[in-house]
Structure 1
Amino acid sequence: MKKTYLFLADGFEEVEALATVDLLRRAGVEVETVSINKTLAVRGAHGIEVAADTMLADCEPEARMLICPGGMPGASNLAANARVCELLSAQHERGGKIAAICAAPAVVLAPLGIIDGYDATCYPGFEEGLAAGGARHKNQRVVVDRDVITANGPSSAIPFALSIIKALDSQAKADEVAAGLLL
């Protein structure tokens, strides 16, 4: 089965990345964190350093889903990485699943044309980036439109992850994980 990849760049939002990985693994989703740095070590926006599971160069060209956490300058660092942009564009072109949260929908997905004509959300203050990429901003915590899931920020990390679980598995699996979290 294809892997799900969550990209990590220096300055990533820790809550968004780690809560998402945690919930996906609870659901049995094979998800790997991917460092875009020269080493596996990646430092989050709030100084938390994590060791990614794999390097960007080792990602398979086709994935089950690609996930971009937000945070600044994490989202900008993802957008500046040609390989990340190439993988995201190819994933979108073949109708593959993509998820992004916080600034990432506006900073990473929108400039690539991935959300052109889609409903999407993002962190407050980044709405112009969505519009520039042709997306329709929805003032919601999580927006699912076709093959793309977007969320607005750290407090939406758990509903974001549950939406990903639903997209990759089922509502029943998302409900099971939510129950285990006492939601």
Structure 2
Amino acid sequence: MPTVLVPLAQGCEELEAVTIIDLLRRAKITVVTAGLDENPVKASRGVVLIPDTTLDKAIQQDFDMIVLPGGLPGADNLNNDPRIHPLLKKMHQQGKYTAAICAAPKVLAHAGLLANKSATSYPGVLEHMNIPQLQFIAAPVIKDGSVITSRGPGTAIDFALELIATLVGSEIRDQVESALVR
């Protein structure tokens, strides 16, 4: 089964984080949540999340995908963490998937992963950044090669379902979606 790393930063968007974790686990994908330190994560609306491990421990493992929840200041905290950009670049160089939602696509941009790509984000996050050859598309989810981006809390289910389809196929994706009774 594929393995996915979801780094959880203080101030992340809880609806996005929990939706990603929950739906991927429903698809029997191994999800490891990792805090940037050993503390519980207080999300943007005050929900407290308890990560499975720390990022220092998690980066010793191999993952098929890394998914960055958005929210502020969560996306900024991910962007400012000295371990995140090298991790994203390493995964990208290995042909593994990098994904981000809401404000977190800017972390992919700062790591240099959105040049010559199509991507989306929360309104106003990417449009004014000077990203070479970025084609910004205001769609719920954009997949361009091994990079997957999404708009925000309202697109979290669609985003998670795309991650499932990418990792384990459309049949499992459809089974998970059907059980959600959308």
Query: Shorter-normalised TM-score: what interval?
Result: over 0.9
Retained in 1: the 8 A contact 2:2–2:167?
A: no
Retained in 2: the 8 A contact 1:113–1:133?
A: no
Amino acid at match of 1:17: A
Distance 1:100 1:45 in 2: 17
Amino acid at match of 1:22: D
- CA gap of 1:36–1:182, structure 2 versus 1, over 3 A, is same
Retained in 1: the 8 A contact 2:105–2:126?
A: no
How many pairs were matched up?
Answer: 181
- CA gap of 1:89–1:176, structure 2 versus 1, over 3 A, is same
Q: CA deviation at 1:135?
A: 2.1
| Counterpart for residue 31 of structure 1 | 31
Amino acid at match of 1:73: P
Task: Find the residue that maps to 1:82 and give its secondary structure.
Answer: coil
Deviates more, 1:1-10 or 1:23-32: 1-10
Task: Find the residue that maps to 1:75 and give its secondary structure.
Answer: helix
Normalising by structure 1, what TM-score?
A: 0.94
Distance 1:62 1:131 in 2: 32
Deviates more, 1:43-52 or 1:1-10: 1-10
Q: CA deviation at 1:176?
A: 0.2
Structure 2 unaligned segments of length 5 or more: list them. none
2:57 aligned with 1:55:
no
Retained in 2: the 8 A contact 1:120–1:130?
A: no
Distance 1:173 1:43 in 2: 32
Task: Find the residue that maps to 2:105 and give its secondary structure.
Answer: helix
| Counterpart for residue 174 of structure 2 | 175
Distance 2:120 2:16 in 1: 15
Amino acid at match of 1:44: A
2:99 aligned with 1:99:
yes
Normalising by structure 2, what TM-score?
A: 0.95
Following TM superposition, the consecutive aligned residue runs of length 4 or more in structure 1 with deviations greater than 6 angstroms are none
Task: Find the residue that maps to 1:92 and give its secondary structure.
Answer: helix
Retained in 2: the 8 A contact 1:110–1:135?
A: no
| Counterpart for residue 122 of structure 2 | 123
User: Deviation per CA, 1:107-160, whole angstroms, max 9, x where unpaired?
Assistant: x00011111111000000113355436421001010011101100000000000
| Counterpart for residue 143 of structure 2 | 144
Retained in 2: the 8 A contact 1:105–1:130?
A: no
Distance 1:144 1:12 in 2: 22
Tell me the percent identity. Answer: 38
